[in-house]
Amino acid sequence: MITRRQFAIAYAMALVPALAVAIGQPVWSRVDEAAHYDVIAQYAAGVYPRDASTTIRPETLEIMQRSGVYGFVVDNEYVKPDPGLQPVPSGLTPDAQVLWIRRHGWQYSYEAFQPPLYYALALPAWFAGHAIGGALGSLYAVRIFDALLAALLAPLAMMILLALWPGHQSAAWAAAALTAVLPGVALNLSSVTNDVLVTVLGALCILVAVTGKWSWRRAVLLGALFGAALLTKTSAVGIAPALGIALLQTRRDGGVRPLLIAGAVAAACVLSWLASNVAIYGELITTREQLAMAAFPPRTIDPGFWSVSTLHAFVTFWTGDPFLSMPGAVALAIVAAFICALAVAGLWRAWRHHRRGVSLRVLGILAAAGAGAALASVTSPVLAAFNAPGRLAYAGLAATMALVAAGLWVELPSPRLRWGTVGTFAGLSLGGLALTVYSGALPPPATGVPAVVRQVSSGQAGTFQDLDVSLVACGVDAAGDRLVLVRFYNAGTEPVEWTQTGELRDGAVHVATSDFNRSTPFPLAFAPGHSYDGWLFFGRPKGDVVAPVVYFRNLAADGYTTIGDLAIPTRPC
């Protein structure tokens, strides 16, 4: 075990980046922070929300309007939604439902299906922050609460490594360092999210599972911790096999009795939540509600999708979510893959040759925890075809960091090579986090349509249902950026919605997507009988565009019963 001083140093080492990113990263974080915040706000107002029917609280909407960010934007399906809340249209096809949710799902408390423990524990921080600084104050108060929790992971990883390799202090410090600088810990777990609590509870479960002999008290403790983890996020089920293996180890007085005790306590913890799901939703796990709010296509058996999704899970586990959003994430992912290869080789060597001092009993538990958590992550798209996020494996994060550090120390004979490898990862990670905070502190980019210095008439037009779209002219500003003057006229009797962006293509090749902030702020929905004129800003294309086409994706008419694209050839500027 580690001393109090070592615990404090490891905690402080992780707290510094976590707090800096909690305060400095933009609002909202794109990892569903608005929806998680809204569940806390619902609890604060005495509301137990339903994700497919409960609309967001005024506090959530206030921050959305101040920040200009309305949730986890998927594939830029919308930039700025129209004011007002809309009910989900009835009778939509699955594809139309997905498109509608991508554009309007922000207005619902769509994380309400999650278990309640994290949101209940975050309430005191929410109330304190709200009393000091209103809606935005409550957001930052919960972020600080999450950063304080996330920083516990570094000392817990140290303790788990010392259970695996007793007395090996240098490897223990490496496990703490890797955990402290991991972008997913500092970036994702310091936003408003239940991922932080399930990660800490998962680490505590694993620590209890690999230390000491089994008594009824220890079995009750493990069951309570695991039950609390399940009451935070169901992805914690990934570490259940590892905990079962630990409870059955007879050399530690384990067996069926402690397994049943721990299982009964965990079941008792989640029983009230499952009962409330049956009473409110009519099912133990709210699958129907989640599918109704899914912003992704139905599940698929395509091997290509699953291979890309698994790669996505690995990369985001090491570099944070969204995918490659942190500066330097590509280089960091390459270094992470190299580190993992070395660690796997070292762990295999330790297992095969009974490396001196490494506990094979603990190694098996940690390997099962890491593999089970990874499986929970990569199989998460079983209901809808989204790329699996690596943070769903964070219930086993502390175990994984202990395994990686131990594997490196076994495989690399030189202390310089060991610390050089860890230092390279830490340097890239901290540099990327610093740039993330720096970019969040920069003034917002210039907005508004730039002055056009040269203009060429186009006269091209196209029609989608009752929406007439005319490309009036092509323009060039003083910086050489390209703009297209567009006129939309809805001649029908119902609104027509679009992506609020157009694509510039050279034939079938995508060249650029219009920048909403530098374009005329068109609404999401074109009202019937109204005409809209303005510029779409495409920037400066790379090279000459020989056969320019302005392409509008996923136009939706007739209450989303008709969805399609519109391509209009135009003249080059």
pLDDT of residue 443 exceeding 80, the answer is: no
Radius of gyration of the chain (CA): 26
What is the secondary structure of 381-411 as a DSSP string?
GGSB--PPPGGGGGGGHHHHHHHHHHHHHHH
Query: Would you call 369 exposed, middle or buried from its count of C-beta atoms within 10 A (0-12, 13-18, 19+)?
Result: buried
Sign of CA dihedral 381, 387, 392, 394: positive
Position 169 scores a pLDDT of 95
| Domains, the chain, with CATH or none | 4-440 (no CATH), 452-569 (2.60.40.4170)
pLDDT of residue 125 exceeding 90, the answer is: yes
Position 59 scores a pLDDT of 97
> How far apart (Å, rounded) are the C-alpha atoms in residues 12 and 19?
10
pLDDT of residue 260 exceeding 90, the answer is: yes
Question: 166's torsion region: left (phi>0), alpha (psi -120 to 50) or beta?
Answer: beta
Q: Which two tokens stand for residue 63?
A: 């921050």
> Are 28 and 67 in contact, with CB atoms under 8 Å apart?
yes
Read off the pLDDT of each residue in 76-82 and give the average, rounded to a whole number: 73
Read off the pLDDT of each residue in 506-520 and give the average, rounded to a whole number: 91
Read off the pLDDT of each residue in 268-294 and give the average, rounded to a whole number: 89
Q: What is the four-CA torsion angle of 303, 307, 312, 314, rounded to 10 degrees?
A: 140
Q: Which two tokens stand for residue 497?
A: 């919605």
> Are 9 and 421 in contact, with CB atoms under 8 Å apart?
no
Span 312-330, pLDDT tens digits: 999 999 999 988 889 999 9
Q: Which two tokens stand for residue 182?
A: 């991991």
Percentage of the chain modeled with pLDDT above 70: 99
Percentage of the chain modeled with pLDDT above 90: 79
Q: How confident is the model at residue 356 (pLDDT cuts 50, 70, 90)?
A: confident
Read off the pLDDT of each residue in 289-305 and give the average, rounded to a whole number: 87
Position 126 scores a pLDDT of 98
Span 530-544, pLDDT tens digits: 999 999 999 988 778
What's the number of CA atoms in the CB half-sphere (13 Å) around residue 387?
19
Mean pLDDT score of the chain: 93
468, containing H or E segment: strand 467-477
Read off the pLDDT of each residue in 5-30 and give the average, rounded to a whole number: 95
pLDDT of residue 77 exceeding 60, the answer is: no
Question: Where is average pLDDT lowest: 212-216, 447-451, 465-469?
Answer: 447-451
> How far apart (Å, rounded) are the C-alpha atoms in residues 27 and 30?
8
Q: How confident is the model at residue 487 (pLDDT cuts 50, 70, 90)?
A: very high
Q: What is the four-CA torsion angle of 406, 407, 410, 416, rounded to 10 degrees?
A: -80
Position 145 scores a pLDDT of 98
Query: Would you call 155 exposed, middle or buried from its count of C-beta atoms within 10 A (0-12, 13-18, 19+)?
Result: buried
pLDDT of residue 441 exceeding 90, the answer is: no
Position 240 scores a pLDDT of 98
**pTM of the prediction?**
0.94
Q: How confident is the model at residue 290 (pLDDT cuts 50, 70, 90)?
A: confident
Position 78 scores a pLDDT of 63
User: Where would I find the H helices in 211-286?
Assistant: 216-230, 240-247, 256-281
Read off the pLDDT of each residue in 343-363 and give the average, rounded to a whole number: 89
Position 75 scores a pLDDT of 60
